[in-house]
Structure 1
Amino acid sequence: MPNPSIKDVGDVEGDSVYRRVTLHLIPFLFICYLFNYLDRVNVGFAKLQMLDALNFSETIYGFGAGIFFIGYVLCGLPSNLALSRFGPRRWIGLMMITWGFFSTCLLFVTTPMEFYVLRFLTGMAEAGFFPGIVLYLSRWYPNQRRGRIMALFMSAIPVSGLLGGPFSGWILNHFAAGHAGLAGWQWMFLIQGLPTVLLGVLAFWLLCDNAESARWLTPEQRARVAADIAFDDRNRPVQANTSVLAVLTMPFVWVLGFIYFCIQSGVYAINFWLPSIIKNLGFSDALVIGWISAVPYLAAGVFMLLVGRSADLRNERRWHLVVPMLMGAIGLVIAANFATVPVIAILGLTIATMGALTGLPMFWPLPTAFLSASVAVAALALINSIGQMAGFLSPYIVGWIKDQTGSTDVALYSLAALTVVGSLVALRVSRPVKAGAAV
């Protein structure tokens, strides 16, 4: 039976309510996620100077880039449980202050062990941020509206590449000769780390935990949001009040985690190695590399928003997830096959970036449509943690293969194959769960 409070996505009352929610929440969360993602990928640009300055090998870099996600995976579930216990406003603010501090401290690294420890601690601090935001948004938006909202929120990823690439390249070039005793890569960690601390402080004042406590909504608007969310909760297939241990043994949750792992494998390969791949195409200037790396992210940002809008308008999730995943695989194959032809290789990387990054927001309406609030706290953290293991394995494997073969081609082919497997699994599990209900 349809929810009487949720009409079509374009209903006047609903559009007015959720437009107000979006204008209040999404700009700030977008900026927070932009710095969150920039913090994960700026080490890819630091690599252009850091390896020579500190005499690090590709394997050391790959392990340091990846060990971030060991801390991330270990703390993902406890952090999400803490967010549920203490409230999103307090926990999100505390996480941002902590990871901003550790990220800034990377400018003091002189040995591989220091690099590993700080990356590990930064991963621990960031662990609950993204799954916490997914859980947070599920308390504000019904499933029919989440595709577009997740795409809008997660467009911070391509924007971080679009702005962060040229900006990081400019920092590396401008401070290449050193300034105030710091090298270019050190200035990059300083300039991009400190704003996160400030945003964490602002979160204590700008966020509220749920619609019921939002004084910037009228009582009628708060009631509308509450009714929509309550309807979603009553009609999710996974309804049981489950313990954390029971969630850990749910096969469906692990399958979703595997799909997310496949998506993230391609994403992190692109994020961490795009600057180096572009450099290997024959471009040596850091600023030029930054501008070229912005092209795939610009295309991905536009494509992500278009696909998110299409998914909500058609109330269809399945193919809006699978098609971008297959695009990611095809793009990686093109980039590997035409590594000696810069224009075609960059075109392949652009297609791969468009597909891989769009797969991220198209994935998350899937678990939030299936899982009740009692299950979601633990399940979303577990799914995200499984997926983030790709953040360790993907850059490390790419780095190891490049050290062994002198090329990234084999790694790109392997990641493309994994993405295809993930898309086939997604095609299977995202079948409509009941008549007339597209997920």
Structure 2
Amino acid sequence: MDTLDTAAPLGATTTLDIKTVYTKVIWRLMPFLLIAFMINAIDRMNVSFAKLRMAQDIALTDAAYGIGVGVFYLGYICFEVPSNVYMQRVGARATLTRIMVLWGLVTMATAFVTSPEQLIAARFMLGLAEAGFFPGVILYLTYWFPGALRGRITASFLMAGIMAGVICGPLAGAIMSHLDGWIGLRDWQALFVLTGLPAIVLGVIGWFWLVDRPENARWLNEGEKKAIAQALAAEPAKVHGRASDALREPRLYIAGVVYFCIYSGSNTVSYWLPTLIRDFGEADMKNIGMLSALPYLVGVCAMYLLGRSSDRHLERRWHLAATLMVSAGCFALLGLVQGMMTPSILLMSLGAAAALSAVSLFWTIPPALLSPTGAAIGIGLISSMGHLAGVVSQAAVGAIRSATGSLYLAFDIMAVVLVCGALLLLIGIPARVLRDRRLPQE
């Protein structure tokens, strides 16, 4: 493998050299992070499938379920910013290991809840355990990758969450169809146990595999470390120079509200899709699991193509706004095809894929607004504001479902929220403040 000349400036290196360095970094870090995020997403979404069977066992209503999946984000928000700030002190390796082991333990313990109140408490504890994982990884990526690569890297990372949706449905359907009674557990209990264990194993592996920053990596030579440092140093000046200054930047809060709107849509899909498919007229668990994978399959393709296009043109705002409008349109049309399985699935697949793709597009924007010193607080704050949507939207959807017996009104409201997010983005965050640069010689 070619290496960079440590005496040569980054701008003088060849395209092959810098690409070789980042290919090495990608193959070292990204497989682990992708698998971790897949497991993370599965351990969030598994409750949406467990609900279909556990509701009768623990007397779980739709309203209580909505509170349960929403309170997860309340716990998450409480520790999200502190976790990100603490990660800068103790390092990514220790932080991510701790988070993965704890959320795996809580997921397995959820198998033994016996009442709605216990489920709500378990979901709150899961939020506490997971807090800091997603914003921590987003921050971690800024230690390694410049803005010109961050769109496709972020898209690849978030694509793992979409792939988790492809896997989770068929996996949950298979476990709940075949493992009822396994070691004395009900089908939904087996689901929590078997999906929680991998997080613990991966967390232990992470302690030995991850490295905090490029300068600490023994698997990089000095020339490669210097090339990465120069690529990061070539980033244009950001809005802030001190960490505390980030909290006084209005665009930070605008970005947080935009993320709130985006997350309202994507989060509703994640937790209510199996219930919605059952409302379409499908009752078999295996079929529900397979059909639930379709929006995520479409999302994988959309996320990849949109991430590449956004990086190629170094344009973020209109890519994201157009994606939000497509999702809103599909959600708004769902009520018009009520009772028709095929068009309902098609609209849901496209709308869900757009909503999920919008998340990866969004996360190319905050690093362009923040300095390295303000990134930990800024990214954590934006993520916390977005995750507040998990508390509000899930409680609202559960209440609407209990009151009307339908999810269509809830998706109409989500459509309006997504449109508001698109407009706020275009008005509140001007293109001139997003100043990514291409890699040298790219």
Shorter-chain TM-score tier: over 0.9
Work out the CA distance in 1 between the residues paired with 2:177 and 2:385: 37
- The residue number in structure 2 matching 1:117 is 121
Deviation digits for residues 258-295 of structure 1 (CA, Å, limit 9, x no counterpart) = 01111110011100000000001110001100001111
Work out the CA distance in 1 between the residues paired with 2:116 and 2:274: 21
Deviation digits for residues 279-335 of structure 1 (CA, Å, limit 9, x no counterpart) = 011100011000011111001011111111111122221222111111211121122
Q: Counterpart of 1:414 in structure 2: which amino acid?
A: I
The correspondence for 1:51, drawn from 52, 55, 58, is 55
Q: Counterpart of 2:178 in structure 1: which amino acid?
A: H
Work out the CA distance in 1 between the residues paired with 2:227 and 2:332: 47
Change in Cα spacing, 1:436 to 1:372, as seen in structure 2 (3 Å) is: closer
- The residue number in structure 1 matching 2:4 is none
Equivalences for 1:183-262 in 2 at 5 Å?
183-232=186-235, 235-243=236-244, 246-262=245-261
Report how many residues are paired. Answer: 430
Structure-2-length-normalised TM-score: 0.94
- The residue number in structure 2 matching 1:415 is 414
- The residue number in structure 2 matching 1:39 is 43
- The residue number in structure 2 matching 1:320 is 319
Q: Counterpart of 2:353 in structure 1: which amino acid?
A: M
Work out the CA distance in 2 between the residues paired with 1:339 and 1:218: 60
Structure 1 residue matching 2:401: 3-state secondary structure: helix
Change in Cα spacing, 1:330 to 1:205, as seen in structure 2 (3 Å) is: same
1:55 CA drift (Å): 1.1
Change in Cα spacing, 1:435 to 1:293, as seen in structure 2 (3 Å) is: closer
- The residue number in structure 1 matching 2:32 is 28
1:434 CA drift (Å): 6.1
The answer as to whether partners of 1:147 and 1:311 remain within 8 angstroms in 2 is yes
1:218 CA drift (Å): 2.0
Work out the CA distance in 1 between the residues paired with 2:12 and 2:39: 35
Structure 2 residue matching 1:291: 3-state secondary structure: helix
Q: Counterpart of 1:184 in structure 2: which amino acid?
A: D
- The residue number in structure 2 matching 1:87 is 91
- The residue number in structure 1 matching 2:150 is 146
Work out the CA distance in 2 between the residues paired with 1:417 and 1:6: 46
Structure 2 residue matching 1:155: 3-state secondary structure: helix
Work out the CA distance in 1 between the residues paired with 2:191 and 2:237: 45
Deviation digits for residues 339-371 of structure 1 (CA, Å, limit 9, x no counterpart) = 211111111111111111111111111110110
The answer as to whether partners of 2:368 and 2:435 remain within 8 angstroms in 1 is no
Structure-1-length-normalised TM-score: 0.94
1:248 CA drift (Å): 3.6
Q: Counterpart of 1:242 in structure 2: which amino acid?
A: A
Work out the CA distance in 2 between the residues paired with 1:265 and 1:64: 16
1:408 CA drift (Å): 1.0
Change in Cα spacing, 1:335 to 1:236, as seen in structure 2 (3 Å) is: farther
- The residue number in structure 1 matching 2:5 is none
The answer as to whether partners of 1:266 and 1:419 remain within 8 angstroms in 2 is yes
Give unmatched runs, 5+ long, in structure 2. Answer: 1-8
Q: Counterpart of 1:224 in structure 2: which amino acid?
A: A
2:74 counterpart of 1:70: yes
Change in Cα spacing, 1:161 to 1:49, as seen in structure 2 (3 Å) is: same
The answer as to whether partners of 2:369 and 2:434 remain within 8 angstroms in 1 is no
1:222 CA drift (Å): 0.9
Q: Counterpart of 2:107 in structure 1: which amino acid?
A: S
- The residue number in structure 2 matching 1:273 is 272
- The residue number in structure 2 matching 1:359 is 358
The answer as to whether partners of 2:243 and 2:377 remain within 8 angstroms in 1 is no
Equivalences for 1:168-187 in 2 at 5 Å?
168-176=172-180, 178-187=181-190
2:342 counterpart of 1:311: no
1:7 CA drift (Å): 9.3
Work out the CA distance in 2 between the residues paired with 1:180 and 1:199: 24
Q: Counterpart of 1:271 in structure 2: which amino acid?
A: S
Once structures 1 and 2 are overlaid, which stretch shifts more, 23-32 or 219-228? 219-228
Structure 2 residue matching 1:208: 3-state secondary structure: coil
Work out the CA distance in 1 between the residues paired with 2:95 and 2:203: 9
Structure 1 residue matching 2:183: 3-state secondary structure: coil
Equivalences for 1:120-139 in 2 at 5 Å?
120-139=124-143
1:247 CA drift (Å): 3.6
- The residue number in structure 2 matching 1:291 is 290
Change in Cα spacing, 1:42 to 1:383, as seen in structure 2 (3 Å) is: same
Work out the CA distance in 2 between the residues paired with 1:329 and 1:337: 14
